[in-house]
Amino acid sequence: MTFKMIELPYEKNALEPYISAQTFDYHYGKHYKTYVDNLNKLIENTEFATMSLEEIIKNTYAKPEYTAIFNNAAQTWNHEFFWKSMRPNGGGEPKSELKQKIETSFGTIEKFKEEFKTAAITQFGSGWAWLVEDNGTLKVIKTSNADTPIAHNLKPILTIDVWEHAYYLDYQNKRADFVDEYIKNLLNW
Ligand code: MN
Residue 83 alpha carbon to ligand 1 centre in Å: 10
Quick one: 117 and 171 in the same domain?
yes
The count of structural domains within the chain is 2
Helices and strands counted in the chain (H then E): 8, 3
Eight-class DSSP state of 108: S
Measured in angstroms, how far is the CA atom of residue 161 from the centroid of ligand 1? 6
CA 25 to ligand 1 centroid distance, Å: 12
Q: From the CA of 105, how far away is ligand 1's center (Å)?
A: 28
Residue 124 is predicted with a pLDDT of 96
Q: What value, to the nearest 5°, has the Cα angle with vertex 3 and ends 134 and 25?
A: 90
Report mean pLDDT in 10-residue bins for the chain, 189 residues: 94 98 98 98 97 98 98 98 98 94 97 98 98 96 98 98 98 98 98
CA of 126 to the centre of ligand 1 (A): 9
Q: Is the residue at 39 inside a domain?
A: yes
Cis status of the peptide bond prior to 17, with omega within 30 of 0: yes
Ligand 1 midpoint to CA 178 (Å)? 14
pLDDT of residue 1: 66
The H or E element that residue 120 is part of is: helix 109-122
Domain identity same for 70 and 121: no
Q: In this structure, are 107 and 48 located in the same domain?
A: no
Ligand 1 centre to CA of 6 (Å) is 14
Q: Are residues 77 and 114 in the same domain?
A: no
Q: What local confidence, expressed as pLDDT, does residue 188 receive?
A: 97
**Dihedrals phi, psi of 127, to nearest 5 degrees:** 160, -155
Rounded Cα gap, residues 108 and 110, in angstroms: 5
Same domain, 80 and 102: no
Full residue range of the structural domain in which residue 54 is found = 21-84
pLDDT at 84: 98
Please tell me whether residues 112 and 169 are part of one structural domain. Answer: yes
Residue 119 lies in a domain: yes
102 and 77, same domain (yes or no): no
Pair 44, 70 in one domain: yes
CA of 182 from ligand 1 middle (Å) equals 14
We report the CATH number of the domain holding residue 73 as 1.10.287.990
Which CATH number does the domain housing residue 113 bear? 3.55.40.20
Quote the ligand 1 centre to 145 CA distance (angstroms). 10
Percentages (nearest 5) of helix, strand, coil residues in the chain: 55, 15, 30
